[in-house]
Amino acid sequence: MAIEERPAKTAKGVPIDFEEDVIQRRPVTTQAGLGGEEMPTRPSALANDDNMVFTTVANLVNWARSRSPWPLGYGLACCAIEMMATAGPHHDLSRFGAEVFRSSPRQADVMIVAGTVTHKMAPRLRRLYEQMPEPKWVIAMGNCASSGGEFWDSYATLQGVDTVVPVDVYVPGCPPRPEALTEGVLRLREKITRGG
């Protein structure tokens, strides 16, 4: 059994930090096109055998979920243009695995509410949220979706989308810069990794 062959140091059940121990560890194999030289490896807290990972199922599932949250392209107003810019070539959200904007809520993991939610739109927003499969998350993008924003005294708008659906991450700004939305997606990733 591979477990019995592990060094005593790591056999105590040290909690595994995936970012540190698994993701950033490079393979020992040589890569084509790099002149055949060996990639440097950092000493592992895991077993010497590179093919082995010890963790709980919950951690593994959360980690896998956090790597590629597919957003529902729910563009409502100005923020939708910045959301498009975030997914565009310059700010390239696909670096973080979240560029697959789905048009159907049934294929989406995270709903990015980009723009002003009016009273007429709120029931549709709630219905779309309920159509998303579990687990699901919500990013409120922009001031309007977070708190009503500059339409705080309008007779027609919802004062924050958290009155209708539970919100995980609020991204402030009017509209938020693409960097801000990227930060929001990264924060959501952290939250999902922690099991939130």
Partner 1 sequence: MKRSPEAAELSTEAEIRQIQEGAQIELPVIEDEGLETEELILNMGPQHPSTHGVLRLVLRLSGEKVIECIPVMGYLHRGLEKIFEWRTFHQGIRYADQSDYVSNMLNEHAYAGAMEAIAEIDVPRRAEFIRTIVDELSRCAAHLIWLGTYGLDVGATTPFLWCLRDREEILDMFEELCGSRMNFNYYRPGGVLYDFPPGWVSKLERFLDRYQKHIEEDYVRILEGNEIFLERTVGVGVIPSDVAKAYGLTGPMLRASGVAWDLRVDRPYSIYPELQSMKPAVYQEGDAFARYKVRVQEMRLAIALVRECIAKLPGGTVRARLGHVWKCPKGEAYYTVEGAKGEVGVYMISDGRSPNPFRAKMRGPSFHNLQIAPWLLRGRLVADTVAILGSMDFVLGEVDR
Q: Which is nearer to partner 1, 6 or 177 (CB)?
A: 177
Query: DSSP string of 106-136?
Result: GG-SEEEEESPPBTTTHHHHHHHHHHSPSS-
Q: Which is nearer to partner 1, 80 or 138 (CB)?
A: 80
Q: How far is the CB of 156 from partner 1 (least distance, A)?
A: 5
Helix and strand totals (H; E) in the chain = 5, 4
Q: How far is the CB of 117 from partner 1 (least distance, A)?
A: 9
Omega prior to 71 cis, within 30 of 0: no
Q: How far is the CB of 153 from partner 1 (least distance, A)?
A: 6
17: alpha, beta or left? (left if phi > 0; alpha if psi -120 to 50): beta
Q: How far is the CB of 138 from partner 1 (least distance, A)?
A: 15
Q: Which is nearer to partner 1, 16 or 184 (CB)?
A: 184
According to DSSP, residue 1 is labeled: -
Binding residues for partner 1 (CB under 8 A):
73-78, 80-82, 84-85, 88-90, 103, 115-116, 118, 120-121, 124, 128, 150-151, 153-157, 174-175, 177
Q: Which is nearer to partner 1, 62 or 116 (CB)?
A: 116
Q: How far is the CB of 74 from partner 1 (least distance, A)?
A: 6
Q: Which is nearer to partner 1, 69 or 75 (CB)?
A: 75
Omega prior to 135 cis, within 30 of 0: yes
Q: How far apart are CA 129 and CA 163, in angstroms?
A: 13
